[in-house]
Amino acid sequence: MSKPLVVDVHTHVYPPSYMAMLRARKTVPYIHDPANGEPRLIILSSDDDPAIPIDQRGRPVDSSYSDINVKLTFMQQHGIDSSVISLANPWLDFLDPSEAQEWARRINDDLEETCASINQSNNPDKNLPLKGRSSLFAFAVLPLSAPGPDIIVDEIKRLKSLPHIRGVIMGTSGLGNGLDDEKLGPIWAALEETQLLLFLHPHYGLPNEAFGGAEVTSRYGHVLPLALGFPLETTIAVTRMLLSRVFDKFPRLQLLLAHSGGTLPFLAGRIESCIMHERNFVENGGVVPGPQRSIWEVLKTNIFLDAVVYGVAGLKAAATVGGGTDRLMFGTDHPFFPPLNEGDKEWLSVTTNYKAIDENFGDEKEAVAAVLGGNAARILKLE
C-alpha cells in the first residue's frame, strides 16, 4: 500500500495581528518582548506567578507560533499533507465585549485568506489530489464574549461562506459559565444547522489547589497543568454538556475533542454508571430527567476524537469508545511541545503519536490510513 494521506486536525497558529495584540497586553494572556532577550508567551494563569522572574515566565515564543511558512516546513518534515489550522488558546475569551465581533471577523478572514493563498499557489489549477501537496483548511474562532448570542450566531452563519472553514474551535468556558449554560442553546442550534464541527479544546485546567497549591504546581513546570489539568478540564466540560442534555436537545451537534477526549474514553463507563444511579437532576429549582441518550451513543454519533494521546493504551480506549477507528483523527498540537534541543528536525511529540498509531493499528493498513487522514478527509470534506 502506498503511503497514506496524512491530515493534521490539531495544529494551532497565532496570526500576526493576534501576536501584536498579545504584545500590547500586560495581563494574561500576554507576550513579554524585551528589547534584549527572547520573547516569552504567558497564556496559562499558572504561568503568571509574580514569584517567577518575568523573563522566565511562560515559554519562549518563536516564529513557529505565527509564521505559516514555518508550519509548512514542519508539515513537510513530518510527512503531513494537509493541516486544519486553528487559533490557539485562549482564543478571544478574554476580550472586552465591544471588541469581540471585530476580532473574530479579522482572525477568521485572516485564516481563510491564508488557506486560500497557500492552496492556490500549491494547486493553481485545482486539479491535484490532496495527497502529495501541502494544503490548509481552518477551524474558525467565535466572538464568545460579544454582548449578545445573535452576534455569535451571525458569525457562525457567515463562516459558511468562507470556503476553507470546516468548523470552529472553542474553549470550555463558553459564554463564561461553562458548556451546560442554557444561553448557549442558539449557538448549539446554529452549529447543528450549519453542520460546522465544534473543536472543543482546554485552556483553563484545574485550580492550583487541585495539585497541592501554586508552589507545588510551579515546582514541576507545566507538567501538572498540561498533563492532568487540560484533559480533566475537557472531560468535565463535555460531561456537563451531557448532563444538561445538550446532546438530547441537539442530537446532530458534532464535536471533535482535543487530546483524545481528555480522560473521557477511560471514564465513560463510570460517568454512565453514576448517571444511572442518580435520582436528583435539578434544573431551575425543579427536578428534571437526566440525560436520555447514553454516553456510549453520544460517543458514537456526536463525538470525534483526535489521536493526540501519546500512547497505545489511551489510543486503544479512544478507538474503542468510538466503535472502531472511524472517529479518530491524527493531530500534532504544533507549535506546542517543540523539541528541547534547538536544531532537532523531528518533534518527539509528533513521532510519539505516529508510533502509537503504528503500534496499535499497524497490522490493519486501512485503519492506519483512516486515522492518519482518511477520516479527516471524509468528515471535514477536504477533497
Query: Quick check: 226 binds ligand 5CU (CB under 6 A)?
Result: yes
Nearer of residues 230 and 266 to ligand 5CU, judged by Cβ: 230
Q: Classify residue 121 as exposed, middle or buried by CB count within 10 Å of its CB (0-12, 13-18, 19+).
A: exposed
Among 6, 22, 84, 88, binds ligand 5CU (CB under 6 A): 88
Strands 303-306 and 255-257: parallel
Q: Minimum CB separation from ligand 5CU for residue 42, in Å? A: 10
3-state secondary structure of 50: coil
Q: Locate 356 and state its grid cell.
A: 502509537
Nearer of residues 190 and 255 to ligand 5CU, judged by Cβ: 255
Q: Minimum CB separation from ligand 5CU for residue 308, in Å? A: 9
Nearer of residues 244 and 263 to ligand 5CU, judged by Cβ: 263
Q: Are 171 and 121 in contact (CB under 8 A)?
A: no
Q: Locate 153 and state its grid cell.
A: 450566531
Q: Minimum CB separation from ligand 5CU for residue 196, in Å? A: 20
Query: Quick check: 217 binds ligand 5CU (CB under 6 A)?
Result: no
Among 336, 347, 354, 361, binds ligand 5CU (CB under 6 A): 336
**Using CB under 6 A as the criterion, what x/- string covers residues 13-52 for binding ligand 5CU?**
------------------------------xx--------
Nearer of residues 137 and 336 to ligand 5CU, judged by Cβ: 336
Query: Quick check: 204 binds ligand 5CU (CB under 6 A)?
Result: no
Helix 68-77 / helix 97-122 crossing angle, nearest 10 deg: 50
Which parts of 258-347 fold into alpha helices (H)?
264-276, 295-301, 312-321
Q: Classify residue 103 as exposed, middle or buried by CB count within 10 Å of its CB (0-12, 13-18, 19+).
A: buried
Bridge partners (DSSP) of residue 306 are: 329
* Residues in touch with ligand 5CU (CB under 6 A): 12, 43-44, 88-89, 222, 226, 333, 336
